[in-house]
Amino acid sequence: MAVTDRGPSGERVRKAAVKLFAAKGFHGTGIRDLATEAELSSASLYHYMGTKEQLLAGIMTECLGHLLTGARLAVAGVADPRERLGRLVVVHVIAHAVRPEETQVVDNEVRALSPETRRGVVELRDAYELLWAETIDEGVRAGAFHPGEPAVTRLALLEMCSGVARWYSPRGALSLEQLAGHYAELAMRALGCADSGPGPDLARCRAVVTRVWGAPDEVPSTGH
């Protein structure tokens, strides 16, 4: 009965919710929209989700959990702040590029949660952003980064990278690796990093995202 259930129908419910919440927003998506998309009656929906809000919370928690796990895996054992931050950027960008719906829901719908539910989600998000903040601080202390305002720069970078979810298309000119590499370069420039070195290990980051999220759903041939 919980949102984490995974029968064939439960999976359809989750996918329908991710798609519609991303496209129309939580409040813009009705139960009947979900039911139609999931090919179930609206009453049957309630076997798989608790309430609509619990469904949203489940999606957000899972997505943030994946993001956090991915980021930690990607930087595990990496000491150089430039490589660490580069990997954070790359994982973030790739995740937002291959999972634009989940990540947009996380970015846009926090306000739709009730205060109690929101608390847990915000804690996860804060834990994730803390990884960025710590890494930037380390880079500053190590003399690698020279941002004017570390906190402002962190926020600016996060917004910039998250924005990818809103426009990136795998059918566009850029491959995922090119995109992520470009953003890593932008980040280094923003941090005033003169010698950004060879750039983060793109392949490893890509593998981490795939490990955490599973293979992306087959890319639909139209739309986006």
Give the residues lining the site for a copy of itself (CB under 8 A).
23-28, 108, 111-112, 148-149, 152-153, 155-160, 162-164, 166-167, 173-174, 178-179, 182-183, 185-186, 189-190, 192
Based on CB atoms, which residue is closest to a copy of itself, 73 or 92? Answer: 92
Q: Is 42 exposed, middle or buried (0-12, 13-18, 19+ CB in 10 A)?
A: middle
Based on CB atoms, which residue is closest to DNA, 12 or 125? Answer: 12
Based on CB atoms, which residue is closest to a copy of itself, 79 or 173? Answer: 173
Helix 81-98 and helix 100-108: axis angle, to 10°? 100
CB of 92 to a copy of itself, least distance (A): 13
Based on CB atoms, which residue is closest to DNA, 30 or 216? Answer: 30
Which of 146, 133, 118, 147 has its CA nearest to residue 57?
Answer: 118
- State the binding partner of 197 from DNA, a copy of itself, none, CB within 5 to 8 A by kind: none
H-type alpha helices, 99-149: 100-108, 115-141
Q: Which residue has the tokens 């981490």?
A: 208
How far apart are alpha carbons 145 and 150 in whole angstroms? 9
- State the binding partner of 183 from a copy of itself, DNA, none, CB within 5 to 8 A by kind: a copy of itself
Contact call for residue 41 and DNA (CB under 7 A)? yes
Contact call for residue 31 and DNA (CB under 7 A)? yes
Stretch that binds DNA, among 48-56, 61-69, 77-85, 116-124 (CB under 7 A): 48-56
Based on CB atoms, which residue is closest to DNA, 69 or 117? Answer: 117
Task: Report whether 122 contacts 114 (CB < 8 A).
Answer: no
Count CB atoms within 10 A of the CB of residue 183: 23
How far apart are alpha carbons 58 and 50 in whole angstroms? 10
* Contact residues for DNA, defined by CB under 7 A: 1, 5, 7, 9-10, 29-32, 40-48, 51-53
